[in-house]
Structure 1
């Protein structure tokens, strides 16, 4: 954070702070605004923003309270869903698509639909996937040029995660980059560099719907398979979904399987470049990968927030939140809370309790694929250490203009062989 950025965060009147501005995340200046809110007003009301009035929950324990009290704080699409931008849930009003999915549902429908896809990440299935992931990660890393500049986001992070998604869906491998595009479009609003209009977003998501409908029609008439589409097509909880609900759940699984892992794969490289002492520690003791992986996920916090809507009046952090109020849990801020996490702004790969972070959420909506994400990152770093001495980041990475996905669009690197 530059001195200018720090001064800006502390110069603005407290009641005028609006941490929802995507520009704060694109230029990586949001952290100091959250630092001030944690100190001065941890449950903060913003009366005016591009998304209407909302509450910011910025401290670890308060976020945990909201995340685990799903009876009071609703995720349901009918109340507004799980993103601060109502337009993304509704797809831009009349021009858009209303796409229900199980993360934007409350109990009991949430639990029923989540259960339909959870076998994909059962321990036995993860064990079966490990050799496939390792083989593919190795092939991607072996294809990289040594001592030449290239974009890590495109060549490694996107390629590995998209290959994994194609496997989970049993999706045509030659078309796998469509999954990356659909993931980006799902979480995008016009003006952020991904789509130009809500109509364009709708058109691209309808292409996704048509593609996946063809795959559904094939799988529903076959014996149940070990892929996500087959699981949805054959589960009693999901086999009678509307087309909109099917597309909503497909997009949820695409985003969930893409953004967390993809941006952590980039963020980890950046963190180790910025902290050469930690890279030296890792080189000396490769077993630290086990604790480094959750530290990468905490440090990066690939999804900056989740939103809820209050179903009744409630008190959080001494503030009264009224029924109908929009409540935003800033996971990124909670992961920097020094009351819970020691030296939270530091990247420390041998933390004693590295899984003490909020990046996967808590309660009934905790990320269903968290162990798969960790496994992919673990394998990536095991294979990196086998091949490269270090990965040098060239210049500043380009970040996503989004208050939801905390990620990267480009990061130039140079890899150095062992």
Structure 2
């Protein structure tokens, strides 16, 4: 039953009918209409290290198989994250350095500064708070009425969690998903947008956080992102480089919001696409932790990460040149049948379910992966304790982007037990 409820794009050609050398998997409409699967299947089968000479982002290499993605992702000495991690180039006049788009030593210093906010020692305190908030959100849902799951649950839960990680004023928390959406709505990922308006809104974000920074710097160190940056000897002067501060804010906001939000939405869609798996879950709630990993694989909330070649190199028989763009398509590697058995099947009891690419590999592996998994686990534990069924009752509306695989609207009806 997979994909029965998804949007269909009638004007999108069959990838098997396109000359291989002109196949362009960077088109955002492929992801909007959930039609990217066969495009990547063809590349994995016929040209897993594929060069696309012409696209709206210029020429780029696509890495589409699991093992090849791992090899690129774990070799920062040849495949650099600096200066862009998405397929498009950031505007020269709006350069926002962030640690995910840096190589060592800058990356390591800045990541280490904020890592304590999501360290294992913090997870116990965070778990109790997440459960309290999940219960409040779920108990407020109207039963038997159509609602947008994205707005009522996915966005609200991740917004509250993000506010906690930043120790952000709770009454202003609605600003966080707004700034997250502003960050990821960009020409660099295939969306036509007024980039000057986008920059103006992000400057408002910067101004707000600079006020918080000054407050935190004058107070004793705490375990929120801003306090940790402001008190670390190696990052405390970042406030004097506003664009670098903004870049890291953009990274932490998107990392703590979009990925978990879209996994929460994608899990509901997947369970409705595969009702036998939903029945299996209800019969055995102990499958929730394993299902969480399968949801994150299945949804792959970030479709790609980009690297830039630092020196001429041969990779899998292909000659890459210094300066070439190399795009690791996580969304393709997570469906690689040579590594993942029955990859197009959503299986909540999948063996080795955590063996997915969604969190990346190497030095850039997702810093908050445990917090993301915890949110999803607690949410589904509490859903099963309350509701008989979360029923998708219309076509989910997806996001136009070749980077964030997300949903604008997942119409559902919540059925009481």
Q: In structure 1, how many angstroms separate the alpha carbons of the residues matched to 2:187 and 2:355?
A: 35
Q: In structure 2, how many angstroms separate the alpha carbons of the residues matched to 1:399 and 1:103?
A: 26
Equivalence map 1:63-212=2 (5 Å): 63-77=69-83, 81-86=84-89, 89-90=90-91, 93-94=92-93, 97-189=94-186, 196-212=193-209
Equivalence map 1:235-250=2 (5 Å): 235-241=232-238, 242-250=241-249
Which aligned runs of 4 or more in structure 1 are off by greater than 4 angstroms?
1-7, 190-195
Task: Report the alpha carbon displacement of residue 291 of structure 1 after superposing the two structures with TM.
Answer: 0.5
Is the 8 Å Cα contact of residues 309 and 323 (structure 2) preserved in structure 1?
yes
1:326-358 Cα deviation digits (max 9, x unpaired): 000000000000000000011000111001100
**Which of the residues 63, 86, 90 maps onto 1:57?**
63
Residue 301 of structure 2 corresponds to residue 302 of structure 1: yes
Which secondary structure state, in structure 2, belongs to the residue aligned with residue 390 of structure 1?
strand
Q: In structure 2, how many angstroms separate the alpha carbons of the residues matched to 1:348 and 1:402?
A: 26
Q: How does the TM-score come out when normalised to structure 2?
A: 0.95
- Which residue pairs with 1:285 in the alignment? 284
CA 1:57–1:274: 2 relative to 1, 3 Å: same
1:206-263 Cα deviation digits (max 9, x unpaired): 0000000000010001110121100010012211111111111111000000011000
- Which residue pairs with 1:414 in the alignment? 413
Q: In structure 2, how many angstroms separate the alpha carbons of the residues matched to 1:224 and 1:129?
A: 18
Task: Report the alpha carbon displacement of residue 119 of structure 1 after superposing the two structures with TM.
Answer: 0.5
Residue 329 of structure 2 corresponds to residue 330 of structure 1: yes
Is the 8 Å Cα contact of residues 113 and 228 (structure 2) preserved in structure 1?
yes
1:309-337 Cα deviation digits (max 9, x unpaired): 00012222221111111000000000000
Task: Report the alpha carbon displacement of residue 190 of structure 1 after superposing the two structures with TM.
Answer: 5.2
Q: Mean Cα displacement is larger for which, 187-196 or 331-340?
A: 187-196
Count of residue correspondences = 409
Q: How does the TM-score come out when normalised to structure 1?
A: 0.95
Q: In structure 1, how many angstroms separate the alpha carbons of the residues matched to 2:254 and 2:19?
A: 36
**Which of the residues 13, 28, 36 maps onto 1:22?**
28
